[in-house]
Structure 1
Amino acid sequence: MHEMAIAEGILDIALDYAKQNAAKKINEIGLLLGEMSGVEVDSLEFSFNMLVQGTIAEGAQLKIKHVPLVGRCSKCGREYHIEHYDFWCPECENGVLTTISGREMQVEYLEVD
């Protein structure tokens, strides 16, 4: 379950930030999770809630912002939501595109006291 390792990374980032800023409590952690990140949200939340027990992040809420998988066609320039991992441009049927969003997996913000 790679969600446990991801949760550990999130907690490490939050605790490090809290320490650097003399925070006493971590209340909320905002995450950006791309559609293509492969993260199972329920498993991530379960793992995170297990890991924070006994830390200053105990009781902290994970606020997850889902980022859609969007690509830009290198031929016609059209941007579109990529569905079912179909990377062909629906406009010109070119298969060469640049992924604009949807691969994110990062801490966006922390709310601390």
Structure 2
Amino acid sequence: MHEVGLMRNILDAAIERATQEGAHHIYTVEIRLGEAAGVAEESLEQAFEIVKKDTIAEMAHLQINHVPTVSYCPNCNIEFQPIDLLYECPECHQPYCEIRQGKELEIASLAIS
């Protein structure tokens, strides 16, 4: 489960930021998760429960904000939300258009004290 490694990196960054701010506890870790990030939300939540033990985030809650996928077609010069995993342009039907949004997996905010 690669989500454990991903979550460990996220939590390490959160703890580093919290300690830089002089915090002793993290209560909420809010992340942005893109639809095209290739990460299972349930696995990420389970990984968070594993990696937060014995840290200043032990009592923390994970809040996940979903980011929709937005693709771009250079032929039509339009952005669109793809219907399936092919990211096909709805105008010219070119497959595999550029993904401009939706691959995010990042910390949005922390609740600390």
TM-score w.r.t. the length of structure 1 is 0.91
Structure 2 residue identity aligned to 1:88: E
1:105 is aligned to 105
Residue of structure 2 equivalent to 1:50: 50
Distance between the aligned counterparts of 1:51 and 1:89, measured in 2? 40
- Structure 2's unaligned 5+ residue stretches are none
Give the Cα–Cα distance (whole angstroms) in 2 for the partners of residues 104 and 47 of structure 1. 18
Aligned residues: 113
Shift of 1:103: 0.8
Contact 2:86-2:95 at 8 Å conserved across structures: no
Residues 40-81 of structure 1 deviation map (CA, whole Å, 9 limit, x = unaligned): 111111111122122110121111111111111111122211
| 1:24 has 2:27 as partner | no
Question: How far is the alpha carbon of 1:83 from its aligned partner?
Answer: 2.4
User: Does the Cα contact within 8 Å between 2:86 and 2:96 map onto a contact in 1?
Assistant: no
Aligned-residue RMSD, C-alpha: 1.4
Instruction: Tell me how far apart the structure 2 counterparts of residues 95 and 38 of structure 1 sit (CA, whole Å).
Output: 19
Could you say which residue in structure 1 is the equivalent of 2:74?
74
Rounded Cα–Cα distance in structure 2 between residues aligned with 1:80 and 1:16: 37
Instruction: Give the AA of the match of 1:23.
Output: A
Cα distance in 2 between the residues matched to 1:52 and 1:45: 11
Large movers: runs of 4+ above 6 Å: none
Aligned amino acid, residue 27 of structure 1: Y
CA offset at residue 94 of structure 1? Answer: 2.8
CA 95–46 in structure 1, closer or farther in 2 if over 3 Å, else same: closer
